[in-house]
């Protein structure tokens, strides 16, 4: 999977995508109120990003089957913590179904946002 030319690239210096990055400003300027978290590592980068988004007032959706760890025994315990207090934990299919039902996002001029 490669970044499209119309997507912003955010280089993060720490586990969470919000710490010392322009992500929050970019999302607010785009009028977004929801963050969908996918990637690796569930119990480090993904979980930290979910908590940071929650603390900033975003609705957080966390991909149960589109996140992964380097130690599978840590996946479910992290998902349980996130379910309890920080995020709506869904499968990729459930996320796609909800996005389809919600319709298109507000126009953002084609600007996608990604974190690296």
**What percent of the chain lies above the pLDDT cut of 90?**
84
H or E element that contains 37: strand 34-40
pLDDT reading at 114 higher than 80: no
**Residues contacting residue 90 through CB under 8 Å, at least 6 positions apart:** 61, 62, 63, 64, 98
pTM, to two decimals: 0.86
Top pLDDT among 74 and 110 is at 74
Instruction: Give the residue-averaged pLDDT of 22-32.
Output: 97
CA–CA gap between residue 114 and residue 9 (Å, rounded) = 5
Banded pLDDT at 113 (limits 50, 70, 90): very low
% residues pLDDT > 70 (the chain): 89
- Domain residue ranges in the chain: 14-100
Q: Which two tokens stand for residue 99?
A: 């996005």
Q: What is the CATH number of domain 14-100?
A: 3.40.50.850
Judge whether 3 and 107 are in contact, CB under 8 Å. no
Q: CA triplet 32, 35, 40: central angle to 5 degrees?
A: 150
Residue 58: what pLDDT?
Answer: 98
What does the pLDDT look like over 29-75, one tens digit per residue?
Answer: 999 999 999 999 999 999 999 999 999 999 999 999 999 999 999 99
Q: Which pLDDT belongs to residue 2?
A: 86
Token look-up 């600007």 returns 111
* Burial class of residue 38, CB neighbours in 10 A (0-12, 13-18, 19+): middle
CA Rg value for the chain: 14
25, pLDDT greater than 90: yes
Cβ contact 23:30 at 8 Å? no
């Amino acid at each position: 999977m490669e970044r499209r030319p119309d997507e912003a690239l955010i280089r993060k210096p720490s586990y969470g995508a919000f710490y010392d990055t322009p992500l929050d400003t970019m999302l607010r300027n785009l009028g977004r109120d929801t963050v969908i978290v996918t990637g690796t590592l569930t119990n480090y980068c993904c979980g930290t990003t979910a908590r940071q988004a929650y603390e900033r007032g975003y609705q957080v959706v966390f991909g149960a089957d589109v996140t992964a760890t380097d130690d599978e025994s840590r996946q479910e315990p992290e998902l349980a913590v996130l379910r309890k207090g920080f995020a709506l934990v869904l499968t990729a299919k459930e996320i796609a179904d909800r996005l389809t039902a919600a319709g298109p996002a507000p126009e953002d001029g084609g600007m996608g946002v990604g974190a690296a």
